[in-house]
Amino acid sequence: MKKNKVITAEEAIALIRENDVVTTTGFVQSCIPEALHAALEKRFVETGSPRGLTLIMTAGAGDSKGLGTGRLHHDGLLSRVIAANFGRMPKVAQAAQANRIRGYNLPQGVISQLYRACAAGQPGLFSKVGLKTYVDPRHGGAKVNELTTEDIVKLVEVDGEEWLFYTATKIDVAFIRATSSDPSGNLSFEKEALTLDCLAQAMAARNNGGIVIAQVERIVDDGFLLPKDVRVPGILVDCVVLAEPEMHRMNYGVMHDPALAGQIRVPVTGIKRMALNERKIIARRAAFELPPNGVVNLGVGAPEGISSVANEEKITPYITLTTEAGAVGGVLASGSSFGAATNADCIIDQNQMFDFYDGGGLDMTCLGMAECDEAGNVNTSKFGGKLNGCGGFINISQNARSVVFAGTFTAGGLEIAVQDGQVKIVQEGRARKFVTAVQQNTFSGPYAVERSQPVIYVTERCVFQLTREGLELIEVAPGIDIERDILAHMDFKPVVRNPVPMDARIFREEPMELISDLLNLDLKSRVSYDGERNILFINLEGWYCRVKSDMDELRMTIVEACRKAGQRVNAVINHDGFRLNENLYDDYAGMVQYLQANYYATTTRYATSAFLRLKMEEALTKRGVAPHVFERKEEAQAFVGTTEDKRARKKISPAVASAA
């Protein structure tokens, strides 16, 4: 006879012993087993037991005011916390900062994946995530205070490469949450916004001989749930607790939204248009980095505005937004529903999403920044005297193919005005963000440079780019004075070579027509042929090659023009203001090599940026291509004329002249 596993919350919580390791599910304010947290708090307050628990959690799970894991702040209840986010349980964070409990701030994806390691009986997880950050044992090993001494992160070498080994902590109790359960404990998630790590957490506890307690909102009869709808099988579940509706809200701000649960699809009438303020300026400039047909992750804060800009510019169909919580596609939710999505294409488990992210699946991410220093290091985890935690920031920022950090130039009271396309600083922020050294290193600039990862830093008044020499000022907003409005409010002087104006469209009320840039619709207008002189002019001024597909579009456009010319052409290319992602220089040189071998007689390029000229010359020389890169257009055209004269005197074919 099958056992009926449905019991009360009090009966389930009574099974927890002193010093147990407890893991719980939840993402920010969604999918939190509130009834279980409340019952654990009640038992401890009334009896003083259980004491000395270790809490393991992936993302923050609470409202920052005492709900969720914030209920577990009582002295003596916890002795250790392993979490990606402490900001959602501020009193627990304060206890850690006061050395009353031990604590580790691990990357969210690592904790998520460690559940699987625990479930499989493995000792831990090998990952490059966290190298060169505060998680690296050389920089603290993710310990949050002096009381914490045990090393759970080790630096190891495998086949000559550095890796971090994260030790798995065996789990005794797992709090998970679902929508429906039958008496045997089979669980389905039909009304949940996310599935998170519930299956992996249940397996980890069950295979360690621990207990799994599932909170649900309804009990259904045996045989009601279809096999493919069961996301956690009953063999993994020990207890099922039926929660009151108020304790089983979709999130703290929403009782239930079927569109977020994927039960229905709703018309999306459009996100409210943003006012032209500092947040919109930042979001607009960051939107220029969006890769066509790419997969994107957006962080909280300033990056969230990209969704609104993308909707206004009608480019939403050409990008796929994702969340680390597991949502793919649709319209990303914000506020209390952050992490979920309306009209999502798919919801996968959180640990699976981090597999995708860690493997390089993200084409671009846009994340916030609390502090940044001259080496390009970014801090989002510990600042202003508070332990916030890294969340998924380290996984995402280290492994995305392109990274945009976005935020206001200063913080605390910043006011700006946009008048006639010009930016005016009305009141400067009280706190500087660009500091000599970040308080905690959540993103390593030098490590990104080492791996040729493209990184830019977007503010309302300027844009920086990460280079081997450190942070370089590459764009300045109209109306902004570099000395007065930028350098005077930084603790260090960035590299300043030849910054160009930020795109003027950013500072106007009307839409920017960004879709033309994103889909390279204007590429053909950038290529023109002078038949009398046999010169192909390629104007790449201000053009941005984000991803390899952009380069493919450019190559096809040039090839088409050359074929129409019917002969090898003398190419003159304007690279003023041209931007090429750091990891594409070799591909770009390969494209030039191909064009030179098949379509060009001579090739000359000009760019006023000394840095760009140097990078292009290095890449072309490496490919064995003559690096004719000049500073001015006149020099480039003069070179073409000289080469033509030589060819005429020697009476040789364009192909031979090119090879010479």
205, 225, 247 — which closes off a domain?
247
Distance between CA 348 and CA 32 in Å, rounded?
17
Kindly report, residue by residue over 425-475, the tens digit of the pLDDT.
999 999 999 999 999 999 999 999 999 999 999 999 999 999 999 999 999
Which residue type, as a one-letter code, is found at position 245?
A: P
Q: What's the whole-model pTM score?
A: 0.87
Query: CB–CB of 23/40 below 8 Å?
Result: no
> Is the domain of 171 the same as that of 231?
yes
Query: CB–CB of 405/368 below 8 Å?
Result: yes
Distance between CA 64 and CA 28 in Å, rounded?
9
Which residue type, as a one-letter code, is found at position 464?
A: F
> Is the domain of 288 the same as that of 341?
yes
The answer to the question of residue 258 being in a domain is: no
- We report the CATH number of the domain holding residue 233 as 3.40.1080.10
Pick from 556, 146, 191: nearest CA to 340: 191
Q: Is the pLDDT assigned to residue 637 strictly greater than 60?
A: no
474, 507, 540 — which closes off a domain?
507
Distance between CA 379 and CA 358 in Å, rounded?
20
> Is the domain of 290 the same as that of 210?
no
Query: CB–CB of 274/451 below 8 Å?
Result: no
Query: CB–CB of 213/198 below 8 Å?
Result: no
Q: Is the pLDDT assigned to residue 218 strictly greater than 70?
A: yes
> Is the domain of 85 the same as that of 130?
yes
> Is the domain of 429 the same as that of 405?
yes
Angle between helices 610-622 and 585-598 (to 10 degrees): 60
507, 538, 567 — which closes off a domain?
507
Q: Is the pLDDT assigned to residue 659 strictly greater than 80?
A: no
Pick from 274, 226, 220, 263: nearest CA to 242: 220
Beta-carbon count within 10 A of 46 CB: 8
Q: How many CA atoms lie within 13 A of 411 on its CB side?
A: 16
Write out the residue range of the structural domain in which residue 174 sits: 9-247
> Is the domain of 539 the same as that of 430?
no
Least confident of 245-254, 322-331, 503-512, 648-657: 648-657
Distance between CA 490 and CA 48 in Å, rounded?
51
> Is the domain of 88 the same as that of 163?
yes
The confidence score (pLDDT) of residue 518 equals: 84
Distance between CA 380 and CA 396 in Å, rounded?
13
Q: Is the pLDDT assigned to residue 34 strictly greater than 60?
A: yes
The answer to the question of residue 14 being in a domain is: yes
333 three-class SS: coil
Kindly report, residue by residue over 154-205, the tens digit of the pLDDT.
999 999 999 999 999 999 999 999 999 999 999 999 999 999 999 999 999 9
Q: Which secondary structure element, helix H or strand E, spans residue 656, and what is its range?
A: helix 654-659
**What percent of the chain has a predicted confidence (pLDDT) above 70?**
91
Distance between CA 367 and CA 389 in Å, rounded?
14
Q: Is the pLDDT assigned to residue 536 strictly greater than 50?
A: yes
> Is the domain of 70 the same as that of 115?
yes
175 has which bridge partners?
A: 24, 213
Query: CB–CB of 633/574 below 8 Å?
Result: yes
**What percent of the chain has a predicted confidence (pLDDT) above 90?**
78
Q: What is the mean pLDDT of the chain?
A: 91
Secondary structure of 139-198 in HEC code, one letter for each residue: HCCCECCCCCCCCCEEEEEECCEEEEEEECCCCCEEEEECCEECCCCCEECCCCCCCCCH
The answer to the question of residue 373 being in a domain is: yes
The answer to the question of residue 417 being in a domain is: yes
Among candidate residues 278, 304, 312, 324, the one labeled active-site is 324
Q: How confident is the model at residue 651 (pLDDT cuts 50, 70, 90)?
A: very low
Give the residue ranges of DSSP H helices in 316-455. Answer: 350-358, 393-399, 445-450
The answer to the question of residue 335 being in a domain is: yes
Pick from 457, 455, 489: nearest CA to 473: 457
The confidence score (pLDDT) of residue 341 equals: 93
**What value does the mean pLDDT take over residues 12-34?**
98
DSSP letter for 275, please.
P
> Is the domain of 323 the same as that of 360?
yes
The two three-digit tokens of residue 238, written as one number: 């020990």
> Is the domain of 453 the same as that of 534?
no
The answer to the question of residue 117 being in a domain is: yes
Query: CB–CB of 325/350 below 8 Å?
Result: yes
Q: Is the pLDDT assigned to residue 642 strictly greater than 90?
A: no
Q: Is the pLDDT assigned to residue 125 strictly greater than 80?
A: yes
Distance between CA 435 and CA 432 in Å, rounded?
7
660 three-class SS: coil
Least confident of 144-148, 377-381, 565-569, 613-617: 613-617
> Is the domain of 466 the same as that of 558?
no
Q: Is the pLDDT assigned to residue 580 strictly greater than 80?
A: yes
The answer to the question of residue 262 being in a domain is: no
Query: CB–CB of 130/110 below 8 Å?
Result: yes
* Catalytic residue status for 324: yes
> Is the domain of 295 the same as that of 231?
no
290 three-class SS: coil
**What value does the mean pLDDT take over residues 256-263?**
95
Please report the DSSP string for 474-485 in residue order: EEE-TT--IIII
CA distances, 578 to each of 66, 110, 475, 539 (Å):
50, 38, 12, 9
Distance between CA 102 and CA 95 in Å, rounded?
9
Distance between CA 192 and CA 258 in Å, rounded?
9
The answer to the question of residue 255 being in a domain is: no
Please report the DSSP string for 570-631 in residue order: EEEEE-TT-EE-GGGHHHHHHHHHHHHHHTEEEEEEE-S-HHHHHHHHHHHHHTT----EES
**What value does the mean pLDDT take over residues 278-288?**
96
- For 190-229, letters b (16+ CB in 10 Å) and e give ebbbbbbbbbbbbbbbbebebbbbbbbbeeeeeeebeeee
Distance between CA 548 and CA 584 in Å, rounded?
7
What is the tally of structural domains in the chain? Answer: 3
The confidence score (pLDDT) of residue 646 equals: 45
Pick from 617, 620, 602: nearest CA to 656: 602
- We report the CATH number of the domain holding residue 546 as 3.30.750
Distance between CA 582 and CA 547 in Å, rounded?
10
Pick from 472, 482, 499: nearest CA to 577: 499
Residue 487 has phi, psi (to 5 degrees) of -60, -35
Distance between CA 538 and CA 526 in Å, rounded?
6
